[in-house]
Amino acid sequence: MKKRKLGNSDLEVSAIGLGCMGMSYGYGTVSDKKEMISLIHKAIEMGITLFDTAEVYGPYINEELIGGALKPYREKVIISTKCGIKIVNGKQVLDGRPEVIRTSVEGSLKRLKTDVIDLYYLHRVDTNVPIEAVADTMKALIKEGKIKHWGLSEAGVDTIRKAHAVCALTAVESEYSMMWRQPEKELLTVLEELGIGFMPFAPLGKGFLTGAFNKNTEFARGDLRSQLPRFSSENMKSNQALVDLIHKVAEEKGAAPAQIALAWVLAQKSWIVPIPGTTKVHRLAENAGAVEITLTHEELSKLNDALSKITVVGERYPVGSDYAKRAGK
């Protein structure tokens, strides 16, 4: 497994990480714990060292799963987790107050069975709390040895600049894939300027880019994708052109579609580390194999030209929803 450094930091991780949310949360069912522990151990065998979780996934059960599975390998792996979202009366509520962050970090340390968190994110920006106050809190937690690095998830560039000025950010986590290229507009430029790494979630378009879904797909009850506009039957039918393009390139390269989608993300910048999630061992192996797929300058240019002719339809979050309102703040 190849390694990458997140921005100008000294945090070196596997070129592809493992997003662990879907093992416990978000896709309708909670996977079998023993199977997921086995999958995590297989990921380590494949050379994956970066494992991403969050306090709110469950809540709590995903961190507990990751903590138990990684305890025997703690010195060999990097754990990233997140704070700032609470479940109140069944709804997600943002809370980034310094005292809440401090309470959250103590809980995460216990659940993750560790003395220090490698990378600690504010999960979403709480606009009621100055980001400088969050950065000051993270700086203190680093000084106290409770976290090593910190980051922001789904933050806007102005917030990133303000936070970084107080305490250097190691990474920003946001969605990025062939299906969602908005970070290219200004985020990637700012991250490069400031020397901050990028950890894209959903680099496979929440599974769509693998070709696993089509207009006839019915998602399980509780699967977040059933609520997302881009996963409506009509929009999936319209976006099939993107999947067809990826399949075509995959056939030419003798690779799986997922590997082409991930190789494309990896090819954008050397400080980008995607964190695809999976609950299936064969998908895990497929994703890990993407680091061996090299897209030449000519192939990348040809692929980007084809992508520019495809219009992806469907918002990633319902318009006006809480999910949409808190992205890019």
Q: Which residues are catalytic?
A: 57
β-pairing verdict for 3-5 and 12-14: antiparallel
Q: In the 8-state DSSP scheme, what is residue 299?
A: H
Q: Which residues contact 185 (CB under 8 A, 6 or more apart)?
A: none
Both tokens of residue 100? Answer: 């809440």
Cα–Cα distance measured from residue 217 to residue 197, given in angstroms and rounded to the nearest whole number: 35
User: Token match 């806007």: residue?
Assistant: 156
Could you tell me if 15 and 1 are in contact, meaning their C-beta atoms sit under 8 angstroms apart? yes
Nearest Cα to 80, choosing from 133, 43, 122?
122
Largest CA distance in the chain: 54
Read off the amino acid at residue 15: A
Cα–Cα distance measured from residue 178 to residue 174, given in angstroms and rounded to the nearest whole number: 14
Judged on CB neighbours under 10 Å (0-12, 13-18, 19+), 248 is middle
- CA-based R_g, the chain, Å: 19
Nearest Cα to 186, choosing from 149, 165, 160, 152?
160
Cα–Cα distance measured from residue 9 to residue 194, given in angstroms and rounded to the nearest whole number: 11
The angle formed by the CA atoms of residues 87, 116 and 328, to the nearest 5 degrees, is: 45
